[in-house]
Structure 1
Amino acid sequence: MIRGLIFDVDETLLYYEGYTLRRWYEEVGRPAMEKLGVLLDWETFRRIVRGELSRRYVERFGIDHVEFWKAMDRANKAYRERLLEEGKIKPFPDAGALEELRALGLKLAAVSNASQDNTELVLKAFGLDRYFDVILGKDYSYLDGVKPNPYLLNKALKVLGLKKDEVLLVGDSSNDVLAGRNAGIKTVNIVRFERVPGADYYVNTLWELVNLVKELRAKNPLGLSPR
């Protein structure tokens, strides 16, 4: 039986007007790197963010990788604060479905590859933080534990006190689908911008997710494992 949901945050619950990773790299990431005396070209930066290269890669430039990514996160926080002031970060119109999901008795987690404070910043800005039993951003003690690595998902499961077959992972990207697969958790691709291959279920809105959860519960009301 489905007893909990783990949500991605950015581009799943919240929309960033005009955002692309490449644009963020040019406008925010690159200037922050230059202040550190380090410059990752776009392709290398993209591969690190996608989990294709370790975040320790930056240490070949003579900088501690934790300090590098903390500096990047500080720059990201300033960027997010500016976008919030300009009204360019917005919750998707269906974010109200979180209240309905809570009313179903589900435990909810928010898990993001952004830092803890950056994740909490945007959720709190719209009062969405109140829906979640736990909010997890990247862990500086294990920076390669971001999605598609299952590390953060396993942390969420432990806090929620749920088993893998009792939750669904809801996200918009291939990193979310891969993270779910790596953790052994079934995934729901919410098709905000594109349909990601490999998900177990597809929905177009969070209201469709509410219906999906109800359907899955109706099929297995006692929470019995399939034989």
Structure 2
Amino acid sequence: MLKGLIFDVDETLVYYEGYDHREWYEKWIMPALMKHGIKLDYETYRKTVTGELPRSYIERFGIDHVEFWKIVDRVNLEYRRWMADRDKITPFPDVEALGELKKMDLKLAAVSNASQECTEFVLELFNLREYFDVVYGKDYSNLDGVKPSPYLVKKALNALGIKPEEAMMVGDSSHDVLAGKRAGMKVVNITRFGKIEGADYYVRDLWELEKLVKEILGSYSP
């Protein structure tokens, strides 16, 4: 029986107009790191984010990796506030479907590789926080536990009190698909920016997800 859904946040529920990862790093993150005497090229940073290198790899440069990621996250929050002030963060129009999913007595969680503060900020910005029973951003006690690791997803499942087979992961990226699969869940890929191989279901938006969930729940009826 399907009892819950675990959602990715960025690019699944909200969109950042004009966002470019390299530009963001070089214009926002690098200057902040330089103030702390930290020099780290974009390519090395990118590899730690994609999982090609562990986030603790930063220690090789004589930098405490927890403090490093806290600096990055503080700047990321500033960036999000800057973007929000310019109306450059917008929810996808189909986020209203979250209300319909909530009416089905499903437990909902949001899980992001961004910090807790950054994740809560964008959800509260558009009054989306109210739909979720739990919200988890990256955990500083386990920084390598970000997606595609199943750590945060399992953390959400435990908080919701449901088993992996009773929930589905919903997201737009390969990290979401892998994290859900590694947690033992079925995965729904929202194909806003293209199809990710390995998912169990594919939907174009959250309204199609609502339809899919209704079909799944209806299949349990005698």
Structure 1 residue 183: deviation in Å?
0.9
Aligned-pair Cα RMSD in Å:
1.1
Structure 1 residue 217: deviation in Å?
1.5
Structure 1 residue 29: deviation in Å?
2.1
Structure 1 residue 205: deviation in Å?
0.7
Q: Which moved more, 1:135-144 or 1:24-33?
A: 24-33
TM-score, length-scaled by structure 1 = 0.95
Structure 1 residue 145: deviation in Å?
0.6
Is residue 116 of structure 1 aligned with residue 119 of structure 2?
A: no
Paired amino acid for 1:214: K
Paired amino acid for 2:158: K
- Per the alignment, residue 202 of structure 1 pairs with 202
- Per the alignment, residue 151 of structure 2 pairs with 151
- Per the alignment, residue 182 of structure 1 pairs with 182
After superposition, what is the alpha-carbon deviation per residue over 1:81-110, rounded to whole angstroms, capped at 9, x for unaligned? 000110000100000000000011110000
Paired amino acid for 1:156: A
Paired amino acid for 2:44: T
- Per the alignment, residue 63 of structure 2 pairs with 63
- Per the alignment, residue 91 of structure 2 pairs with 91
Structure 1 residue 52: deviation in Å?
1.6
- Per the alignment, residue 75 of structure 2 pairs with 75
- Per the alignment, residue 225 of structure 1 pairs with none
After superposition, what is the alpha-carbon deviation per residue over 1:133-192, rounded to whole angstroms, capped at 9, x for unaligned? 000000001111100000001100001000101100000001101111111111101011
- Per the alignment, residue 213 of structure 1 pairs with 213
- Per the alignment, residue 38 of structure 2 pairs with 38
Q: Residues 164 and 221 (structure 1 numbering): CA distance in 2 closer, same or farther, change over 3 Å?
A: farther
Distance 1:11 1:46 in 2: 18
Distance 2:29 2:194 in 1: 25
Q: Which moved more, 1:53-62 or 1:132-141?
A: 53-62
Q: Percent identity?
A: 61
Is residue 23 of structure 1 aligned with residue 35 of structure 2?
A: no
Distance 1:52 1:182 in 2: 17
- Per the alignment, residue 103 of structure 1 pairs with 103
Paired amino acid for 2:163: K
Q: Which moved more, 1:27-36 or 1:80-89?
A: 27-36
Alignment of 1:156-167 (within 5 A): 156-167=156-167
Distance 1:44 1:176 in 2: 22
After superposition, what is the alpha-carbon deviation per residue over 1:7-61, rounded to whole angstroms, capped at 9, x for unaligned? 0000000000001222222222222222222222222111110112111111111
- Per the alignment, residue 52 of structure 2 pairs with 52
Distance 1:197 1:21 in 2: 23
Distance 2:123 2:94 in 1: 15
After TM superposition, where is structure 1 displaced by more than 6 Å over at least 4 residues in a row? none
Paired amino acid for 2:145: G
Distance 1:198 1:23 in 2: 30
Note the residue ranges of structure 1 that are not aligned, 5 or more in a row. 223-227
Distance 2:49 2:35 in 1: 20
TM-score, length-scaled by structure 2 = 0.97
Paired amino acid for 1:51: G
Q: Which moved more, 1:134-143 or 1:212-221?
A: 212-221
- Per the alignment, residue 168 of structure 1 pairs with 168
